[in-house]
Amino acid sequence: MTEILKSDKDGIEKAANLLKNDELVAFPTETVYGLGAVATNDMAIKQVFKAKGRPSDNPLIVHVADIATVEKFAENIPESFYQLIEAFWPGSLTLILEATQLPKSVTAGLKTAAFRMPDSKITLELIKTLGMPIVGPSANTSGRPSPTEAEHVYHDLNGKIAAILDGGQTRVGIESTVVDLTGKEPLILRPGAVTLEDLQEILPTIAYDQHLVVESEIPKAPGMKYQHYAPKVPVYMVDLAEISNVPDIKSIAVLCDSKFASDFKYAPVFKLTENNDIKLATHHLYRALREMDQSKFTAIFVQTFATKEAISYMNRLNKASGGKRFDDYNAVN
Ligand code: TXA
Ligand code: MG
C-alpha cells in the first residue's frame, strides 16, 4: 500500500527519509505531481521507469532548489540560462543543458539533462530537507493524463511507490515548458505553462520546434514521440461551431465552456471554464479527462480553443485525442 502523507513539516521529513532510503515518493509541484527519486540514485531511478511503465529512452527532469546544484551537474552553461531563470525560476520552465555526473538512467544516455526549480514551497522544502536533487517525471502511468491531485497518483501508482505527499490540487494543471539551450538558438521542445510570448520577452530569437517527429528519428525531447495524456475512452476535439451537433446522449461526455452546459440534457458536462478563460480550461483539462474516463462513456468530446494562449492546451488535447476530431466520430458512428 502506498502511504498518503500530509504536506506539513512531519510529512515532508518522512518523504525525505523515504527518498534517502532508495524509495519512490510522489510530490506536488505547481504544474502536476512528480514521481520523486534521488537524482543520483541509479537503482531508485530504474524503479521510477518501472513504476510508470516508461520507455527507458525518455529522460527525466532534475528538480533543484538552488542554482549551485545545476552548476554541479551541468557544464558550458550559456548566458541565456541565467537570463531565463532570472525571469522564470522558481517556475514552470525546464531548461536543457549539457550534463555531467548524472546517472545514464536520468539522461537516457543523452549528453544533455533537463533542470527545473519548481514554484512550490512543498517541493522546494522537500529538496532542501533531503539535501539532494530529485527526478520528477509526471507521476502517472506512462501515456495517461498527468496527475493534478494526489488521488490521481494513487489511482495510477498505488502499491508501486512508497508514498504520496498530498499538496491538494496543483495550481497550473499542465506540465512545464521545456526549452533546449544546447543548440545555436534556444528552442522550445514542449509547450507548457510558460508561453512563447513570455519567453520571447527575454530571448527574442527563441523558436518553437513544431516539426513532427517521425518513427525512425531520434527526437530532441524523446517524450514528445509517444501518445500521451490519453484516457481509455476515445477523445474527440470539437470546435466551437460544432458543439451544438454533439449527440446529447448519456453515453457521451462533453468538456466545454460553462455557457454550453445548458445545451445538454443527457450528456454529462464537465465545465472546463467560463468566458473562454484558457488558463482555467488548462487547469481543469487533465482532471476532467480522468473524471470522464469511465466505461459507461463511448466518447469524450473536448472543446478546442483557437487563441495564441491556447497552444499548450491544444498540444495536450491533440495528443489525448490522437488527433481525432468531430468529423472522425461522425465517420464511424
Ligand atoms: O511540469 C513538469 O515538467 C513535470 C513536473 C513534475 O515537474 N514533470 C514532467 O516530467 O512533465 P516528464 O518526465 O513527464 O516530462 C519531461 C519531458 C519529456 O518530454 C522528456 O522527453 C523531456 O522532458 N526531456 C527530459 N530530459 C531531456 C533532455 N535531456 N533532452 C530533451 N528532452 C528532455
Ligand atoms: Mg509526463
Is the CB of residue 141 below 6 angstroms from any atom belonging to ligand 1?
no
In DSSP notation, 121-168 reads: HHHHHHHHHHTS-EE--BSS-TTSPPPSSHHHHHHHHTTTSSEEEE--
**% of the chain with per-residue pLDDT over 70:** 95
Residues 8-24: what's their mean pLDDT? 98
Residues 238-251: what's their mean pLDDT? 95
Confidence of residue 170 (pLDDT cuts 50, 70, 90): very high
* pLDDT per position as a tens digit, 179-236: 999 999 999 999 999 999 999 999 999 988 765 444 445 556 666 666 678 889 999 9
pLDDT computed for residue 225 by the predictor:
62
The cell 505547481 sits on which residue?
30
Mean pLDDT, rounded, of the chain: 94
Is the CB of residue 186 below 6 angstroms from any atom belonging to ligand 1?
no
Comparing C-alpha atoms, which of 64, 82, 222, 206 is closest to residue 133?
Answer: 64
Query: Which numbered atom of ligand 1 lies nearest the CA of 172?
Result: 1
Mutational pocket test of ligand 1: of 171, 178, 312, 315, the residue with most ligand atoms within 8 Å of the beta carbon: 178
pLDDT computed for residue 215 by the predictor:
46
Residue type, 259: K
Q: Which ligand is nearest to the CA of 31?
A: 1
C-alpha span between 101 and 110 (Å, rounded): 12
Comparing C-alpha atoms, which of 142, 138, 170 is closest to residue 61?
Answer: 138
Query: How close is the Cα of 330 to the center of ligand 2, in Å?
Result: 31
Residues 145-173: what's their mean pLDDT? 98
Residues 78-87: what's their mean pLDDT? 98
Tell me the backbone φ, ψ of residue 38, rounded to 5 degrees: -65, 130
C-alpha span between 17 and 133 (Å, rounded): 14
Is the CB of residue 94 below 6 angstroms from any atom belonging to ligand 1?
yes
* Grid cell in block for residue 253: 461526455
Query: Which numbered atom of ligand 1 lies nearest the CA of 27?
Result: 6
Is the CB of residue 282 below 6 angstroms from any atom belonging to ligand 1?
no
Query: How close is the Cα of 178 to the center of ligand 1, in Å?
Result: 7
Peptide bond into 90 cis (omega under 30): yes
Tell me the backbone φ, ψ of residue 36, rounded to 5 degrees: -90, 140
Q: Which ligand is nearest to the CA of 222?
A: 1
What's the half-sphere exposure (Cβ side, CA atoms, 13 Å) at 204? 0
pLDDT computed for residue 271 by the predictor:
98
DSSP H helix total and E strand total for the chain = 11, 16
The answer to whether the predicted template modeling score (pTM) of the entire model surpasses 0.75 is yes
Least confident span in 161-175, 202-216, 256-270:
202-216
**Burial status of residue 280 (CB atoms within 10 A of its CB: 0-12, 13-18, 19 or more):** middle
276, 292 contact by CB (below 8 A): no
